């Protein structure tokens, strides 16, 4: 039986009004859920990834030149340096922390979130032959760039501290997580931040040695001399949070 125009118009109006809601439901339904932090997928496990932080304990970590964790670091879903502030490095029970295990060639990923104006770092192939970790190991800088507009670019977030500058600022705003990837394969090292490859360098190369000679490391004879060492998270007296700390040795 023929349908009148008067009946069709309300039906079309109802369909038009309901379509955005249906589309939104469909879009929400197909969005993949983010994996829980501090976990490994089956694919990651098969590829040889290891968790360096389980989100619950500080197992596998200790203070630099210590046999236990400094009390200023706590766990609350992330590995948190909570007691920063006056007194500088080590104040409030903090200090650099290192992995119990040592690594030579690896791919390291983690996320960091820092307070306004904050400063920290991620060091690798760290030894305990000096008074502090940065005297002996390369560091990927962690920094709130927005509060340090006049700082040397070789000291901005993502830099190989005081040696190689990131070509651009790809950090997320304070209060958001930033994702790091460091690949160390022999002397060749890559720095990645938030999915962007910043640069690569070769430890011990002519270019490297020239840069070291013009840096704060020029009088540090043990700087970057070893092929294997600890992963280190730096205490710079500011509150800093780390999570999803994973490593794939190779």
Assign 100 to helix, strand or coil.
Answer: coil
Q: Mean pLDDT in the chain?
A: 88
- In this model, does residue 17 exceed pLDDT 70? no
Give pLDDT tens digits for 216-245.
999 999 999 999 999 999 998 899 999 999
Of residues 152, 96, 148, 146, the one with CA closest to residue 126 = 96
Per-residue pLDDT averaged across 28-35, rounded?
55
Fold of 42-249: Jelly Rolls (2.60.120)
- In this model, does residue 4 exceed pLDDT 80? no
- In this model, does residue 8 exceed pLDDT 60? no
Confidence (pLDDT) at 203 = 99
Confidence (pLDDT) at 70 = 92
Least confident stretch, 32-36, 43-47, 147-151, 169-173: 32-36
Tokens of 205: 């190369």
Confidence (pLDDT) at 47 = 98
Instruction: Tell me the β-bridge partners of 32.
Output: none
Higher-pLDDT residue of 82, 35: 35
Confidence of residue 37 (pLDDT cuts 50, 70, 90): very high
Confidence (pLDDT) at 186 = 98
3-state SS string over 137-192?
CCEEEEECHHHCCCCCHHHCCCCECCCECCCCCCCCCCCCCEEEEEEEECCEEEEE
Least confident stretch, 11-15, 41-45, 133-137: 11-15
Task: Give the whole-angstrom CA distance, residue 52 versus residue 189.
Answer: 20
Residue 71 CB contacts under 8 Å (≥ 6 apart), including other chains:
93
């Amino acid at each position: 039986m023929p349908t009148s125009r008067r009946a069709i118009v309300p039906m079309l109006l109802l369909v038009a009004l309901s379509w955005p809601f249906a589309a939104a439901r469909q879009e929400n339904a197909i969005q993949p859920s983010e994996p829980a932090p501090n976990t490994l997928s089956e694919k990651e496990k098969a590829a040889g990834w290891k968790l360096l932080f389980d989100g619950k304990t500080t197992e596998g970590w200790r203070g630099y030149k210590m046999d236990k964790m400094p009390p200023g670091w706590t766990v609350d879903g992330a590995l948190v340096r909570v007691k920063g502030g006056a007194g500088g490095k080590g104040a409030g029970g903090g200090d650099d922390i290192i992995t119990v295990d040592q690594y030579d060639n690896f791919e390291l990923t983690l996320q960091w979130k820092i307070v306004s104006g904050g400063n920290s770092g991620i060091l690798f192939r760290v030894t305990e032959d000096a008074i502090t970790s940065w005297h002996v190991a390369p560091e990927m800088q962690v920094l709130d760039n927005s509060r340090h507009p006049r700082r040397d670019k070789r000291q901005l977030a993502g830099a190989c501290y005081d040696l190689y500058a990131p070509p651009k600022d790809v950090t997320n705003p304070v209060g958001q997580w930033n994702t790091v990837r460091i690949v160390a394969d022999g002397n060749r090292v890559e720095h990645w931040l938030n999915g962007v490859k910043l640069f690569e360098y070769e430890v011990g190369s002519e270019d490297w040695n020239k840069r070291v000679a013009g840096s704060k490391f020029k009088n540090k004879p043990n700087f970057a001399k070893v092929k294997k060492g600890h992963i280190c998270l730096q205490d710079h007296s500011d509150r800093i949070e780390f999570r999803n700390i994973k490593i794939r040795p190779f």
